[in-house]
Amino acid sequence: MNRINKPVLSVLKKFGMSANMESKRPLVWVFGGMASQWPGMGKCLLKIQTFKETIERCHDILKEKGLDLLNIITTDDPDIFDNILNSFVGIGSIQIALINVLRDLKMKPDYFIGHSFGEVACGYADGCLSEEQAVLTAYYCGFLSLNSSEVVGRMAVIKLCYQSLVSKLPDDIDAACHNSPNSCTVSGSKESVEQFVDEMKSQNIMAFIIDTSNVAFHSRYIAHLCPKLEGLLDKVIISPKQRSKKWLSTSALSRDWNNCETKICSGKYYTNNLCRSVYFEEALSLLPRNSICLEIAPDGVLLPGIILNVPDGLSFAVAKEKEEGVQFLINALQSLQRNGVQLDIGKMEKMFDSS
């Protein structure tokens, strides 16, 4: 792999760490959820020692549940994520490991935002969940999703704003996720969602099915899971903590952030996160317009929506499907430095020279 260019690091330290301080942009860590998984997504990143050590700890935790995390994130088997549980633990563990890498580099975010299941990583980044609690929260959300829907579920992205969508939405389909000013995700039964997608296409509206392993997340069709999921998560998150002001919730609108079930990172919070609507667009709209957003997930699938929501900001991803993971991360970090994000350059150089 290409090593970090040391003269470039020297220039960044001299110029990027000082010239941009007066116009410092807020840094936002954005955590994606389902649809960011892909076979072999963690293989290259295991070259980074901090990442590798974190994954090994997560592997040991999940081994007691009968899962082989190392295989889940390194295999090239295209069917590995047909099992929704593998997606939950794979994405969640990679996000935890990437947070640890960025912490090692002394990166200090101003805000955290998670899309759907990505809020588990918010809990870890915010200090509300331990590493083990975050891994087990991901596990139980995935475990209950294995046999979740009372119907065979489908989810689809519809390229419409929420207000335009609801006027077209059939009664048996829910608006699951508010993604951006021109995108929402819907959730419902297989037959209804597929019919609705065809109808939207006939009206020249872009629409497509996304792979959620036949689970209709964020809809009435998994509401029956709530009591059991909350009970399991309460045994994991034994002493719930209050979210900091850095964590902008997408599990509720901002007017409800002071409600007990929203301001506390708890089993109840993550039950609502899985079963209720996702207010991603609304949370992003609260950010300063010049924010720097860093998507932390195995693939930067949220970037188009982030750019639309924060048009005067800058947006980067730490990983991209099928890209050489270490070099892609290096490029992202160097871009962040050029735009005034402070990192421990010496630690960064040492970390990647040994990769």
* CATH number, domain with residue 200: 3.30.70.250
User: Does some domain include residue 338?
Assistant: yes
Residues 103 and 181 in one domain: no
CATH number at residue 92: 3.40.366.10
Residues 189 and 314 in one domain: no
The per-residue pLDDT for range 294-321, each reduced to its tens digit, is 999 999 999 999 999 999 999 999 999 9
Residues 241 and 181 in one domain: no
Asked if the model's pLDDT at residue 219 lies above 70, the reply is yes
Nearest residue to 314 via CA among 24, 105, 49: 24
Answer for the pair 31, 122: CB distance below 8 angstroms, yes or no. yes
In this prediction the pTM is 0.91
What integer pLDDT is reported at residue 14 of this predicted model? 34
Q: Which residue has the higher pLDDT, 136 or 213?
A: 136
Residues 11 and 78 in one domain: yes
How many domains, the chain? 2
Of 210, 231, 247, the residue that ends a domain is 210
Measured in degrees and rounded to the nearest 5, phi and psi for residue 41 equal -65, -20
User: Does some domain include residue 120?
Assistant: yes
Residues 35 and 167 in one domain: no
Of 171, 191, 210, the residue that ends a domain is 210
What integer pLDDT is reported at residue 10 of this predicted model? 37
Residues 194 and 255 in one domain: no
Residues 33 and 47 in one domain: yes
Residues 283 and 318 in one domain: yes
Of 170, 185, 210, the residue that ends a domain is 210
Structure tokens at 67: 């899962």
Give residue 158's domain range. Answer: 153-210
User: Does some domain include residue 1?
Assistant: no
Which strand (E) or helix (H) includes residue 190? helix 190-202
Distance between CA atoms of residues 285 and 12, nearest Å: 31
Residues 165 and 297 in one domain: no
User: Does some domain include residue 59?
Assistant: yes
Instruction: Report the DSSP pairing between strands 314-317 and 292-296.
Output: parallel
Residues 232 and 103 in one domain: yes
Distance between CA atoms of residues 59 and 302, nearest Å: 27
User: Does some domain include residue 299?
Assistant: yes
Q: What is the mean pLDDT of residues 159-173?
A: 95
